[in-house]
Amino acid sequence: MRIQPNNDCTRFNLSDPPTQNLAANLTAVRTRIAAAARAAGREPTGIGLIGVGKGVAGAALRAAAQIGLKDFGESYLQEALPKMAQLADLPVTWHFIGPLQSNKTRPVAERFAWVHSVDRLKLAQRLSAQRPASLPPLQVCLQVNVSGEASKSGAEESQLAELAQAVARLPRLQLRGLMAIPAPAAGLDAQRIPFARLRGMLENLNASGLALDTLSMGMSADLEAAVLEGANWVRVGTALFGARTKPAVEQQA
């Protein structure tokens, strides 16, 4: 599928933060990750950083890529595709991290390397069927509603074992692990609780015969807690790009 570049992202109210701050912000985030990793007895190199581009213009993502950020996460398909076209000349990896509707799976299957937000079998089946044979298997994480919030996407813990076994059998996907966005909590100890639960779920799935290696958890406000509990990917937007303008039209992909 060919996507025409589109530099006019105003319908999403995308912000273009000052690029002179990006290097300092990126260093600060990586320093936080490294400190948490050392506290957990882990190697910082085992923790990937995804720059969350929701509400951020493609020019800012290009600037971040040029100073070393190689993984970008997008939540809204219509916002993501023009930016992917703008950065097509750069060796970056794209992660879909937002809610996904069944009728939008084809471009996600064709354009992204990772999907972190699979929460039902129908989505996984469509992604598997629509992943081009010329591409490597799509890397997927199952999103879990770890805090039980009605407003949050994600599978329930009681559904997880059956869902994981079914997704692991699909041919054009590689099930890597679990993702969660817990409810906000004050203080490191409280933040660690849902992340520890998610880690326990991953361990239980592996004890049942799966071989999962990924926990996608932790954002700007709680990445230390996530790293302490075993995060392999942290998804950071505000701490890198600053506060974003909320899109006028949030196209849910």
Say which residue the tokens 């071989």 belong to: 211
pLDDT at 210: 98
Question: Is residue 250 a part of any domain in this protein?
Answer: no
Question: Is residue 92 a part of any domain in this protein?
Answer: yes
pLDDT at 239 over 80: yes
Is the pTM above the cut of 0.85?
A: yes
Of the pLDDT bands very low, low, confident and very high (cuts 50, 70, 90), residue 245 is: low
The rounded distance, in Å, linking the Cα atoms of 180 and 72 is 17
Average pLDDT over residues 188-212: 98
pLDDT at 153: 85
Q: Three-state SS string across 165-209, please?
A: HHHHCCCCEEEEEEECCCCCCCCHHHHHHHHHHHHHHHHHHHHCC
228, 36 Cβ separation under 8 angstroms:
yes
pLDDT at 3 over 90: no
178, 214 Cβ separation under 8 angstroms:
yes
- Residues of the domain holding 110: 11-240
Length of the chain in residues, anyone? 253
Say which residue the tokens 């994600």 belong to: 154
pLDDT at 151: 76
Of the pLDDT bands very low, low, confident and very high (cuts 50, 70, 90), residue 209 is: very high
Question: Is residue 47 a part of any domain in this protein?
Answer: yes
- Burial class from Cβ neighbours inside 10 Å (0-12, 13-18, 19+) for residue 41 reads exposed
121, 160 Cβ separation under 8 angstroms:
no
Question: Is residue 54 a part of any domain in this protein?
Answer: yes
142 forms beta bridges with 118, 178
169, 145 Cβ separation under 8 angstroms:
no
Q: Which residues contact 51 (CB under 8 A, 6 or more apart)?
A: 61, 64, 69, 71, 72, 73, 236, 237, 240, 241
CA atoms within 13 A on the CB side of 129: 8
Average pLDDT over residues 34-44: 98
pLDDT at 147: 86
Question: Is residue 245 a part of any domain in this protein?
Answer: no
Number of C-beta neighbours around residue 108 at 10 A: 26
Least confident range from 7-11, 73-77, 90-94: namely: 7-11
pLDDT at 253 over 90: no
Q: Interhelix angle for 58-66 vs 77-86, to 10°?
A: 50
pLDDT at 8: 38
The rounded distance, in Å, linking the Cα atoms of 165 and 44 is 30
Question: Is residue 246 a part of any domain in this protein?
Answer: no
Mean pLDDT of the chain: 91
Least confident range from 2-11, 22-31, 230-239: namely: 2-11
CATH of the domain at 205: 3.20.20.10
Average pLDDT over residues 26-40: 98
pLDDT tens track for 151-187: 788 999 999 999 999 999 999 999 999 999 999 999 9
pLDDT at 66 over 70: yes
The rounded distance, in Å, linking the Cα atoms of 179 and 154 is 9
pLDDT at 113 over 60: yes
Find the angle CA(181)-CA(185)-CA(190) to the nearest 5 degrees.
105
Question: Is residue 208 a part of any domain in this protein?
Answer: yes
Report the number of distinct structural domains present in the chain.
1
Question: Is residue 2 a part of any domain in this protein?
Answer: no
pLDDT tens track for 9-27: 434 557 665 566 899 999 9
pLDDT at 5 over 60: no
